A = this chain, B = another copy of it.
C-alpha cells in the first residue's frame, strides 16, 4: 500500500541543500532564515482541473505551469525566488502522474534555485496550490500603485498565443496542426520572466540562475551575496498578465490613479497569432489570458537601460503605450486613431 507519507517521500522529498531554508520538508513547519535587511515576497496561486487546465492535461507540463505562474508573480514584483510549498489534491495516488508532474515541477524549480520546503497531499479533485517565497531589498518592489503619468508602458515577450491555442482546442478558431503546435507551448508551459523582473527592480546581477543555485549550495557564499550592491529601479509599476492585458493593466491604472493609451498594433503578438487576421490579433493580444508576461511602466529616460536589460536577460521587451493623467484605458491604431476593441477581463467566476 502506497500511503500518503510514502507518496510525499517518493516524489517530493529530495536531499535538503543548504541555502535559505534551514529546515526543509518533513517537519510541522519548514524554517527559512531570511538574509538580514531583506524583505520576503509571498504569493499564492491555485490551479483547478477543468478550470485552469483540461482534464487529462500532460502532468509534466502541469508541474511546470503550476510553479511558473507563481514565479511569474515574484518576477512581477522583482523578487528573487527562494522556496515554495505545494498542496496537492489528487483523485488517486498514481505514480504514472506523480513522476512526470514532479519532474516538470523540479526542472523549473532547479532552474531558479527555488526549493520545495513543505506541502500537503490529499485525495480530492485534482487541485494544485503553490505558495512561493522570494527576497527583495526594501524599496525595490515593483508595486502596482507606482505608475507615473507619462511613463512608457512595456510588455515582455509576446501576447495571445496561449489564448489562440485555447481557441484552437475549443474550435473557436480553425488552426492547422502546425499552428496549434506553435501556440500550444505558450498555454501549457509559460516562461516566468524572473531575470527581467530582477533587472527592472535593480536587484544585483548574480549571473545565471543556475549559477546562483549552485552557489547557494555553499553556505559561505551568503555574506558575499548579501553585500552585492543594488542598482537603481528601472521600472515604476509592474504586474504579470494572467487574465489578459486589458484587465490586468486596469489594476495598475486603478492602484496608481492614472489612465493609459495603448497602441493596439504595437502589442507584440506571439508567432502563431502573428499570422492570424488583424481583428483576432488585436483582441487576443489585448485580452487573451494565460500570457504570464510582464506589463510594466517606466520613465522615458530609462528606455535604453530597459532595452539593454531585455538583451541581457534574453527577453524581448516592447513599448506599447503611455500612462496618462486622464482615467480609463484607451486603444489607438498604428495611425493614432481611437479603436474600440470591445474586450473585457477574464473572470474566473463569471466566464464559463
Contact = CB atoms under 8 A, between A and B. Distances in A.
A22 interface: yes
A48 B134 contact: no
A338 interface: no
Contacts of A36: 36-37
Contacts of A273: none
B239 A51 contact: no
A114 to B, nearest CB: 13
Interface in A113-135: 117-125, 127, 129, 131, 133-134
Q: How many monomers of this chain does the complex have?
A: 2
A286 B143 CA distance: 51
Contacts of A4: 347-350
A229 interface: no
A143 B348 contact: no
Nearest to A79: B29
A333 interface: no
A1 B36 CA distance: 46
Contacts of A46: 87-89, 120, 122, 124, 127, 129
Contacts of A51: 89, 122-124
Contacts of A349: 2-4, 7, 92-93, 121-123
